[in-house]
Amino acid sequence: MFYVSIFFQYMSQYVKTKLQYRTDLFVEFLSDLMFQGVNLIFILVVFGHTQLLNGWTRDEIIFIYGFFLIPFALFASFFNIWDFNERYIVRGEMDRVLTRPVHSLFQIVLERMELESLLGGITGLVVMGYAASRLHMTFHWYDAVLFVLFVLGGTFVYAGIFISLASISFWSDARSSIMPMMYNIGNYGRYPVDIYNRIIRYILTWILPFAFVGVYPAAYFLRKTEWYTYSFLTPVMGMVCFTLSVLLWNAGIKRYRGAGN
Amino acid sequence: MYAIEVEKLRKEFKSYSSRSGLAGAFRDLFTRNYKIIRAVDDISFTVKQGEMVGYIGENGAGKSTTIKMLTGILTPTSGRVVVNGMNPHKERERFVQTIGVVFGQRSQLWWDIAVQESFRLLKKVYRVSDQDYNEHMDHVIETLDIGPLLDKPVRKLSLGQRMRCELAAALIHNPPLLFLDEPTIGLDVLVKLKIRQFLKEINEKYNTTILLTTHDMTDIEALCERVIMLDEGKIIYDGSLQHLKQNWGEGKQIHFQFRDLVSKEELASLVHVTWEQGEDRYNWIAHVRANDMAHVIGKVVSSYELKDIHIREVSTEEIIRNIYEEGIHYG
């Protein structure tokens, strides 16, 4: 309860700060929108030529992409801590965080939130709607519940992976240069995994489970029964990933060396 | 009941050294040279509730490392720390509720939002009730004279204004123990005085324990009865400032400016004290004990023509410098 109230406090401060820089806000909004647009065009161009990709139709792939955008937007809004090493370890900001009576990771999530990324979620819904209407998809009432569960699962998979990567900074002073690579790998999860070879599929399922952010949960709504097991594993994977990453983080905090001053 | 209890506290860091050249960089990829540096070396001390303690030492002596262990930021390598009856890094979230921290070189406040918004956020974080907040903070805001700054964003404040706000922010939950790491660094005299005045006041009013690190000895003189001096991770002195001054700083310096050139030998044969040359051979400084002062001055004045004369007390700063240069020897 305390954490919820703190969350809203930080959020209202965030909004206030953003409103102070009106032009910034506008430019950001516009560039985000353009970024989403470019992504969409890319997908349409690529699948404009191939109507079938290993048994998946163009519209199905667009639907997966749309679904992927929603957990990704949630992740980008709250767990986008790719610059954790530079910002908190090298500059020693972690000192300040550790002198406050709130869990350190939660504080960092609050400080680093970027609510404008939620915009990507709306794009995702639009894309999904478009694909769903072309596929004449039908939904049950409980699909809404599953949708929320799957989206949260996917978000936590993403969050878990990136929190784990950030935790590595506690052990080594390596720069966050692997982060951009991770974003790239993350993108593989939005295409049907069976187009990749077995090793990559295995990695995307069990090692860096990005497939649980896009294709697996979306397969349920596309009624691809052969993937259902994976679809329903999504929330579990999210929980597991996130829990492991928090444990790793807590272990890392003990190793924090501080920055000299 | 002690506010701080430290026993055989030690912190070691692994420090990697890189080899030179490209070939060295390649070798570093596989095996890295490192040595273990002991930043804090088995120190023990206790601080009573309500004490104001100056924690001093040169850069790299281990002051900040100690403070970071006492505040739960760093995990000690070995030893026992009990602060406010708790183990700082084990019960971090409950523990930090009972301390206030000011790092002079780092801001606790949010850069972009107004000071009072920062305060409001911290009030939530520390779960302070409206009643407690108003009662306590009204007084703090008034004493630190930051009322007019409250609606400005932190980035628009001067350093002095910001420091006063930082101090207020550290006191929102009215903690019984306050850690100040170089709180007056870079501040002008007026702000320093205001901050010292304020610290004294809260110490008297709430019996707040204060542990202070600083390079400014006048801070220590104004505030602390007790100093703990650190050198290379070890405590080299723990006791009253008064005692320190009496043992190492007794005596005065008399600065004579002569009308004519004088040599050291002449002066030494006149009065038997330590003479030290000033800027040139017209200027000489005599190091004398307070009792001998009149005698020395009398002798010099009766034998030479003087342009100027002034007397200086040995400052704490100099005492500390002497101790670091020559090591501690009781006398």
How do residues B100-146 score in pLDDT, each as one tens digit? Answer: 999 888 888 888 889 999 999 999 999 999 999 999 999 999 999 99
Instruction: Give the pLDDT score at A175.
Output: 59
Q: Is residue B24 located within the same domain as residue B92?
A: yes
Q: Which residue has the higher pLDDT, B17 or B142?
A: B142
Question: pLDDT category, B30, cuts 50, 70, 90?
Answer: confident
What distance in Å separates the CA atoms of residue A106 and residue A5, rounded to the nearest whole number? Answer: 13
How far A163 CA sits from the closest chain B CA (Å)?
20
Per-residue pLDDT, B328 = 59
Could you list the residue range(s) of the whole structural domain that residue A69 is in? 2-253
Q: Quickly tell me which residue has 């342009």 as its tokens.
A: B307
- B21, B66 Cβ separation under 8 angstroms: no
The answer on pLDDT for B331 being more than 50 is no
Domain residues for the domain of B287 are: 251-313
Q: Look at residues B259, B263, B257 and name the one whose alpha carbon lies nearest to residue B309.
A: B257
Question: Is the per-residue pLDDT at A115 higher than 90?
Answer: no
The reply to whether residue B106 touches residue A92, judged by beta carbons under 8 angstroms, is: yes
Q: Is A258 among the domain residues?
A: no
pLDDT in tens, A73-88: 999 999 988 888 888 8
**DSSP class per residue in B50-65:** T-EEEEEE-TTSSHHH
> Measured between beta carbons, which residues in chain A are less than 8 angstroms from residue B108?
96, 99
> Residue B330 above 50 pLDDT?
no
Measured CA to CA, the distance from residue B165 to residue B161 in angstroms comes to: 6
Q: Which residues pair with A248 in a beta bridge?
A: none
Which of B202, B218, B246 marks a domain boundary? B246
Residue B320 resides in a domain: no
- The answer to whether residue B324 sits within a structural domain is no
Angle at A73 between CA A67 and CA A75, to 5 degrees: 110
The verdict on B191 and B239 lying in the same domain is: yes
Does residue A188 lie within any of the structural domains? yes
> Is residue A248 assigned to a domain?
yes
Please list the alpha-helical segments (H only) found in chain B.
Answer: 21-30, 63-70, 92-95, 115-125, 130-144, 159-170, 189-206, 217-223, 241-248, 264-270, 293-303, 316-326
Cβ-defined contact of B117 to A13 (cutoff 8 Å): yes
The H or E element spanning position A155 is helix A141-168
Answer yes or no: do B70 and B163 share one domain: yes
Q: Are B70 and B211 in contact (CB under 8 A)?
A: yes
Specify whether B66 is located in the same domain as B126.
yes
How far B23 CA sits from the closest chain A CA (Å)?
20
Q: Which of A82-86, A188-192, A249-253, B294-298 tops mean pLDDT?
A: A249-253
Question: A141 in contact with B at a CB cutoff of 8 Å?
Answer: no
CB contact under 8 A, A258 and B65: yes
Q: Under DSSP, is residue A171 helix (H, G, I), strand (E, B) or coil? A: coil
Number of domains in chain A: 1
Mean pLDDT of B37-49: 93
User: What's the confidence (pLDDT) of residue A46?
Assistant: 73
For residue A260, is pLDDT > 60? no
Please list, residue by residue across B54-92, b when 16 or more beta carbons sit within 10 angstroms of its beta carbon and e when fewer do: bbbbeeebbbbbbbbbbbbbbbbeebebebbebebbeeb
Claim to verify: residue B178 and residue B62 sit in the same structural domain: yes
Share of chain B above pLDDT 70, in %: 97
Sheet holding B234-240, edge to edge: B99-103, B177-181, B209-213, B52-57, B226-231, B234-240
Q: Is the pLDDT of residue A154 over 60?
A: yes
Q: Are residues B173 and B286 in the same domain?
A: no
Q: Are residues B258 and B114 in the same domain?
A: no
- For residue A259, tell me if it sits in a domain: no
Claim to verify: residue B211 and residue B300 sit in the same structural domain: no
Q: Whole-angstrom distance between the N-terminal and C-terminal Cα of chain A?
A: 37
In a domain, A44, yes or no: yes
From chain B, the residues in CB contact with A6 under 8 A are 124-125
* Residue the block writes with tokens 């995990």: B75
Query: What is the token pair recorded at A228?
Result: 């259902």
Regarding whether B185 and B296 lie in a shared domain, the answer is no
Q: Would you say B113 and B157 are in contact if contact means Cβ atoms under 8 Å apart?
A: no
The answer to whether residue B321 sits within a structural domain is: no
Q: What is the dihedral of CA B38, B40, B42, B47, to 10 degrees?
A: 180
In a domain, B319, yes or no: no
Identify the residue with better confidence: B113 or A147: A147
Question: What percent of chain B shows pLDDT beyond 90?
Answer: 45
Strand partners, B255: B285, B310
Position A237 in a domain: yes
Single pTM value for the model: 0.84
Backbone angles phi, psi at A70, to 5 degrees: -75, -55
* B89 interaction partners in chain A (CB closer than 8 Å): 254
Residue B172 placed within a domain: yes
In terms of pLDDT, which residue wins out, B314 or A164? A164
Please judge whether B73 and A103 are an interchain contact, meaning their C-beta atoms are less than 8 angstroms apart.
no
The two structure tokens encoding residue B320: 């500390």
Question: What distance in Å separates residue B207's CA from the closest CA in chain A?
Answer: 22
Q: What is the pLDDT of residues B221-267, one digit of tens each?
A: 899 989 999 988 999 889 988 888 777 666 778 888 888 888 888 88
Rounded Cα distance between B273 and B268, Å, is 7
Spell out which residues of chain A touch residue B74, defining contact as CB-CB under 8 Å. 256-258
User: Pairing state of beta strands B177-181 and B209-213?
Assistant: parallel
Question: Residue B169 falls within a domain, yes or no?
Answer: yes
CATH of the domain at B163: 3.40.50.300
B154-204 pLDDT tens trace: 989 999 999 999 999 999 999 999 999 988 888 889 889 999 999 999 999
Residue B130 lies in a domain: yes
Are residues A28 and A118 in contact, defined by beta-carbon separation less than 8 angstroms?
no
| Residue A59, token pair as written in the block | 């519209």
- Residue that is written with structure tokens 């009624």 in the block: A223
> Range with the lowest mean pLDDT among A145-149, A188-192, B246-250, B283-287?
B246-250
Domain count along chain B: 2
The beta strands (E) that lie in chain A are given as 52-53, 56-57
User: Are residues B256 and B242 part of one domain?
Assistant: no
